[in-house]
Amino acid sequence: MEQMSSTGRPVQITVTDGYDLKGFKGETPVTFIRAEFNQMVLGDSAKVTVSAEGTAKYNFTSSFEFNPEGGITLDDIAHKPVFLTMTEVLPKEKKQKDEKTLILGQAVVDLIPLLEGESSFETMAPLHPVPGSPLEPLRSGVKQCSLEVKVFVAEPLLTTAQILGGNLLKVTLEAAYSVPESFIPVGPLQNYMIGLQVPSVGEKDYSILFKNGTLKLGGEREPVPRPKKWPIANILAPGANNIPDAFIIGGPYEEEDGELNRPEDKEFRNQAECIKKRIIWDLESRCYLDPPAVASFQKRIADCRFWPVEITRVPLTIAPKGKAAKFDKADDESQLSFHGVAYVNMVPLLYPGVKRIRGAFHVYPYLDSTVYEKTKCSFSLFRDTGHHLVQNNKIGGINSPLSKPAVSKNVKEDKTVKEKDIEGKPRPGDMQPPSIKSQSSDTPLEVEPPLSHNPEGQQYVEAGTYIVLEIQLDKALVPKRMPEELARRVKEMIPPRPPLTRRTGGAQKAVSDYHTQVKNISRAILDEYHRMFGKQVAKLGSDMDSETLEEQKCQLNYELNCSGKYFAFKEQLKHAVVKIVREKYLKTTSFESQEELQTFISELYVFLVDQMHVALNQTMPDDIQGTVPTIYTSSEQLRLFAFEAEVNENFEMAAVYYEERLVREPQNLEHWLDYGAFCLLTEDNIKAQECFQKALSLNQNHIQSLLLCGVLAVLMENYEQAEIFFEDATCLEPTNVVAWTLLGLYYEIQNNDIRMEMAFHEAFKQLQARMLQAQIMKQRSTGTVEYIEEGGKVEESSLGPWGITNGSSATAIKVEAPADDFLEESSKLQSDSREHIISTQSQDPTISQKPSNILLKEMPVKKETSKCQDSSIVLYPSPYDVSQTPATIFMETIRFLMKVNAVQYVHRVLAHELLCPQGGPSCEYYLVLAQTHLLKKDFAKAEECLQQAAQMDYLNPNVWGVKGHLYFLSGNHAEAKACYERTISFVVDASEMHFIFLRLGQIYLEEKEYEKAKKTYLQACKRSPSCLTWLGLGIACYRLEELTEAEDALSEANALNNYNAEVWAYLALVSLKAGRQLEAEQAYKYTMKLKLKDETLLAEIHMVQETVGFGNPSF
């Protein structure tokens, strides 16, 4: 296949020594070595006597000439080894004219290092015994007889360009399983053959033919690992058939690249490979591709994704002895026997970094029209080439039309065989098969009339026959970025953030330093007092009177002033006081008036004295003085308050809470991700990108940060950066379904169909493996282990990062129409029937389980996500309460995107979910679609989607919960009440019950059903207490005249959030009713300060104040 202009160059093979040798007769046999290559004898060594220790010095050099222009080519070196046959020369007996020789064994030297750029190499080649030889067979624990061999060429056979741009193709045919019942080992001998073509340069294609398959009846599985064999016949030593260091290792079905790799195929594969008949080859053929051939190979895959691999059966007849074998002319007209074809999807070889595909492929009857439709190939390797392929392939394996077979001089055939000719007589020019024309070819194809019917080939389909094939390249056709390169590119775009040094300033630090100085000075004064009056105090003890203490105080002050310690103490405090003035009171400029200065000094003095007492009490605590409890709001509570503000569209307050979390813990990347998701909700993409990049700078291996940076890069059309982020995520976590799916969606935007298919396929494979693992773990926990049958359910779901639930997969479908329009029209078309879209005959693995439950957005446990007041923001249910059925890769990605408010990206993924065979218009699909409409306040379309969801899963509590939110937001509280009550009546809770309780309680308050409101809010307080749940409970208790319970609930609400004006208002009402004037006035003051917006409630407070006669200081 190579095109080289270099002249012939000798390749030298030198056998230097032999070890652990034995002979038939005597301890020191006489032996010689014969070297053969390409069925030609290269020479015989001198006769050497083996020593008693079993060693021999041969120093035998032979060579052949490498000349690609008309001799031995790179292809010959690729798939043909050098055979070294050791022969023993027996001693002459009396009256014996000629010497007798017996073959001891054969060694095999693989020349593949020469195609890797080497100019010389050494190897210790095992000497495989022939049947009956005294040599030890190869087995562990026993010294193996071997030959030391050196191979040398003056200069490398490959140029630098060939080393960099060329490739080595290896095709391994393992077996054909579940062959037709008509294949029987008795009767006429049959030659089972499989062939395929590899594109070369120009119009010529290279044919690879595997012959002499062995029919076996089955009964046991083929062992693994087992050696791969040379595609060469007439090898004398059985062990020499095995290619050195090349093994068939098998592997799990689900990790294969072909067909029959779904869980439901597992039982059939086990039966076929254990019980049923099969044909075994275990042959590996090699083919060198120079740079132009690599380009042609890659283009052919892109043009024709499926390549035909033909299979047939050729009868053999034994010719009488003494007569030359010839082809029976009468049989030339016979039709092909059992002519079938398998369609091998070669596209995975165009995936980045992929060098190998291995899998099982169904065998179908060979029909011209079907083969041309699938492969754009009108040429049949067996039918159109005739018997010349068989004639030119007596070596038994790979066949090149350019090779000229020759019979080895030392091989004697015991019998000759006549093979029945394959259909068609040879025509001039047919020695080289014509090229397979690609899809893009402008040359019209001359197609013979297709066979209307192939009954023998149909038997393959009825038997479920499939072949197991492996195609491997030395280098990937499309190189993959290395993880180190991706990490470097990410660092270039987002440099790692150095750890922040703790600030030495700040108000809290200034006060803390002041406390420290007060404590140090107090210790110094106590030490001075003890030095002056220690003995007196010890003598008097508790009998010391006040006059003595006052006298000691005066003496101590005098001593401190005289010694200068008093001024030293003042200087020691001076720096701490200055820091308090600057950090606590933010005073850094001069005062405008003396009055302002005096006012500030008075305020500062009071503060310093108070803090001095705090410090002294810490040093010398007073048992009588109690500590004032402080209420600390956690980060989770701040997240809750922020989400409440989001729900009520108070985005300014939500931003304050998010920023407070960042100030408290600037190194917590989850805080940055939450703030970035909030910015996406407010459509501030630039700030969202900054937040996600900040999170990534804190941890450049964080998968969610990488994915979100990629999503923002796509939204902002920075596609090169997006690819880096997504690829880095898949490298860091290859099992992440969302990462592979987002990478596939990126490739779809780039119109790169092959890589899109690769990413979606990998996402599906990882999701399927995760589901299988979950099923196995569940079966182990219940004590049962069984295969996952088709249609079986996997009830357990594995929560991924941020609560993402695993699901099933879908076939990759490219969506080119605008997402919004496509979703609207497709939803209407699909919803009429409400039937699941199921793939009936798909070559891709599929799982037909339909998702039914909803997961729109996950919130951590005990987080509040609602507000008692009206809101136009819909709520996102959580996955914790309702068990989820497996979703597709697209639905799992939708869940991730909805969680971070990337609604712009969701529409594209919803389109894929709608079209994929395992997805379609499911209940979860309509719930997500309704969510997107609710975010746009399109209540009419949201209601349509929820109606469809209810029809598909009427008993789903999430449907009624989201429906209640729809009616609540649209102002129809009566319908909302009915939906909420239905939701909480289900045995299984909805995904997010918190908002349902909050809003149902508010409706009860509006309708003055205070007992029901109290019960509802109590349930909410037990599940996830918050300011709003306690506020609702307090209001219900107040209306029921339960003032003590109302005050307790309102106090809890005020402790969680003392900036809520409504809480202060009801505290004022409770205090007024309880007759506590001071508390009533304080609560009313804060109600007015926080600007209560409820005019009705404010009027009620004024009315009660007038009734009781106090509570408003302005009267």
d(CA 499, CA 497): 6
Using the predicted structure, report yes or no on whether residue 1040 has a pLDDT greater than 90: yes
What pLDDT score does 1000 carry? 93
Predicted model pTM: 0.69
pLDDT band for position 334 (cuts 50, 70, 90) = very low
CA nearest to 456, candidates 48, 657, 184, 181: 181
What pLDDT score does 817 carry? 43
Mean pLDDT of the region 774-788: 66
Sign for the CA dihedral angle at 397, 400, 401, 404 comes to negative
pLDDT per residue as tens digits for the range 354-367:
999 999 999 999 98
- Bridge-based pairing state of the strands 48-49 and 242-248: unpaired
Q: For residue 713, what are the CA distances in angstroms to 70, 724, 749? A: 56, 10, 13
Using the predicted structure, report yes or no on whether residue 1016 has a pLDDT greater than 90: yes
Which of 314-323, 403-412, 486-495, 977-986 is predicted least confidently? 403-412
pLDDT band for position 858 (cuts 50, 70, 90) = very low
**Encoding tokens for residue 625?**
């003085």
What pLDDT score does 632 carry? 64
102 in Cβ contact with 24 (< 8 Å) = yes
d(CA 869, CA 1005): 11
Count of CB atoms within 10 A of residue 694's CB? 20
Percent of the chain with pLDDT strictly greater than 90: 28
Average pLDDT, the chain: 78
Which of 289-298, 700-709, 870-879 is predicted least confidently? 870-879
Q: For residue 692, what are the CA distances in angstroms to 363, 687, 695, 714? A: 51, 9, 5, 14
pLDDT band for position 994 (cuts 50, 70, 90) = confident
Using the predicted structure, report yes or no on whether residue 323 has a pLDDT greater than 70: no
User: Which carries the bigger pLDDT value, residue 3 or residue 38?
Assistant: 38
Collapsing DSSP to helix, strand or coil, 829 comes out as helix
Q: For residue 459, what are the CA distances in angstroms to 263, 340, 365, 454? A: 25, 9, 8, 9
What pLDDT score does 1051 carry? 93
d(CA 928, CA 895): 9
Mean pLDDT of the region 1091-1115: 87
Query: CA-based diameter of the chain, in Å?
Result: 148
Give the CA radius of gyration of the chain.
43
Work out the burial of residue 1036: count CB atoms within 10 Å of its CB; fewer than 13 is exposed, 13-18 middle, 19 or more buried: buried
Mean pLDDT of the region 838-857: 34
Percent of the chain with pLDDT strictly greater than 70: 78
pLDDT band for position 897 (cuts 50, 70, 90) = very high
Query: For residues 135, 139, 143 and 144, what is the CA-based torsion angle, rounded to 10 degrees?
Result: 50
What pLDDT score does 515 carry? 87
Mean pLDDT of the region 210-228: 88
pLDDT per residue as tens digits for the range 566-591:
888 888 888 888 888 888 778 878 88
pLDDT per residue as tens digits for the range 631-650:
567 888 888 788 878 877 88
854 in Cβ contact with 991 (< 8 Å) = yes
583 DSSP 8-state letter: I
Using the predicted structure, report yes or no on whether residue 498 has a pLDDT greater than 50: yes
What pLDDT score does 1103 carry? 92
User: Which carries the bigger pLDDT value, residue 449 or residue 988?
Assistant: 988
pLDDT band for position 691 (cuts 50, 70, 90) = very high
**Encoding tokens for residue 82?**
């050098």
CA nearest to 1011, candidates 981, 1041, 1044, 986: 1041
What pLDDT score does 82 carry? 94
What pLDDT score does 1015 carry? 94
User: Which carries the bigger pLDDT value, residue 159 or residue 140?
Assistant: 159
SS (H, E, C) 874-921: CCCCCCCCCCCCCCCHHHHHHHHHHHCCCHHHHHHHHHHHHHCCCCCC
What pLDDT score does 1070 carry? 94
Reported as type and span, the H/E element at residue 692 is helix 685-698
- Give the residues across from 441 on adjacent strands: none
pLDDT band for position 435 (cuts 50, 70, 90) = very low
154 in Cβ contact with 7 (< 8 Å) = no
Using the predicted structure, report yes or no on whether residue 274 has a pLDDT greater than 70: yes
pLDDT per residue as tens digits for the range 366-392:
988 888 888 888 888 887 765 444 444
Any idea which residue has 């302002």 for tokens?
596
d(CA 611, CA 511): 8
What pLDDT score does 530 carry? 85
The 8 Å CB, 24+ separation contacts for 594-602 are none
Query: For residues 202, 208, 209 and 214, what is the CA-based torsion angle, rounded to 10 degrees?
Result: -170
Instruction: Measure the CA angle with vertex 851, ends 847 and 855; round to 5°.
Output: 135
d(CA 947, CA 955): 13
d(CA 930, CA 925): 9
Using the predicted structure, report yes or no on whether residue 810 has a pLDDT greater than 50: no
d(CA 514, CA 522): 12
**Encoding tokens for residue 1042?**
């339960």
Among 445-454, 458-467, 875-884, 942-951, which range has the highest average pLDDT? 458-467
d(CA 829, CA 921): 10
User: Which carries the bigger pLDDT value, residue 710 or residue 54?
Assistant: 710
- Bridge-based pairing state of the strands 82-89 and 30-37: antiparallel
Mean pLDDT of the region 831-847: 36
Any idea which residue has 């394996």 for tokens?
397
807 in Cβ contact with 889 (< 8 Å) = yes
What pLDDT score does 593 carry? 87
pLDDT band for position 687 (cuts 50, 70, 90) = very high
Among 184-188, 280-284, 448-452, which range has the highest average pLDDT? 280-284
Sign for the CA dihedral angle at 692, 693, 695, 701 comes to positive
What pLDDT score does 202 carry? 60
Count of CB atoms within 10 A of residue 339's CB? 23
